[in-house]
Homo-oligomer: A and B are copies of this chain.
């Protein structure tokens, strides 16, 4: 059997990133055992730690080095002593924008054994396809007369036909493989220019997918559906900011941010895609082995999907499902104990 190499860049980041990422990588290796694929990892020291020591967030050399890998696994970055925006703009968003991660995939699945804050959640199994490189996230804002009574601050949402169409196409392709329903979420009654751009493109691309049922919800109404009727959703396609908001809400109803996975994908393959749990670095529990690695493990499943290893991805998800189903009976487990259980389950599947 010819052996190929999966060459990963690993950014553990800060806090519990150092704990959850190693477990994610163990599960990845277990899932690829016997496949002839050898996983090689290169660690990158990025995040609050490095910023405190050097003042650097992400240099051009870092970007060039990262660009050589097949994919990136990221834990979580940040600590309370870094001013707001520094690592977000200088590291996380720089990666997403620099590597043109225009698809931000965030699945939500409520599985047996996991409790939702909803009294009657019903079937929860949907996928948010969040645009990742446009909208209010472009960093195109400014301020004048800062700190005075005459201060004016702006934030500009930039949206292009090309940028919207490529993510909408991706979303329709996902819907074709799922339950064939796509919901556009925007606020086109107020944000008329951006909203109507999204709407027209969804209509046009939708015409090429007559078997996909298309509907629309304003973002405010979408939050209502999310808590009263989440089973109405299959694939949601939405802008960068609305996707940020909806996916945190989705994570909450799907059992919490500790289970929420995400993939920042550049489907062209021109740059490596990046896989990260939705949760943060959780400085309050860091270093104690308390963090749940499940979101990272599910992000690894998205990585496997992305690289075409659907069978291995399926085994990882099945291992997680089986583990979640019995969790309530197992009592508290450490990060590595959960990792052990998942590795064993993936191997035995």
Chain A residues in contact with chain B, CB under 8 A? 84-85, 88-89, 93, 115-120, 136-137, 141-143, 145-162, 165, 187-197, 199-200, 219-221, 223-224, 226-228, 241, 244-249, 251-253, 256-257
The answer to whether A84 and B248 touch across the interface, beta carbons within 8 angstroms, is: no
Inter-chain CA distance A227–B143, complex, in Å, is: 34
Bound together, the chains give a CA A151 to CA B204 distance in angstroms of 14
User: Contact partner of A161 among B149, B190, B256, CB < 8 A?
Assistant: B149
Number of copies of this protein chain within its complex: 2
Smallest Cβ-Cβ distance to A228: which chain B residue: B117
Cβ 8 A contact of A159, one of B153, B224, B252 = B153
Q: Which of B153, B154, B223 contacts A245 (CB 8 A)?
A: B223
Give A223 to B120 CA distance when docked, in angstroms. Answer: 18
Neighbouring B residues of A148 by C-beta, 8 Å: 161
| Cα(A221)–Cα(B147), bound, Å | 27
| Minimum Cβ distance to chain B for residue A150 (Å) | 7
Q: Most B CB atoms within 10 A — which of A147, A151, A200?
A: A151
Q: How many angstroms between the C-alpha atoms of A244 and B189 in the bound complex?
A: 12
Q: Determine the chain B residues whose CB is within 8 A of the CB of A221 once the complex forms.
A: 248
Q: Is the CB of A193 within 8 A of B224?
A: no
What are 10 sample pairs from A and B whose C-beta atoms fall under 8 A apart? A84-B199, A116-B119, A136-B191, A151-B160, A154-B159, A190-B241, A219-B245, A220-B247, A224-B248, A249-B249
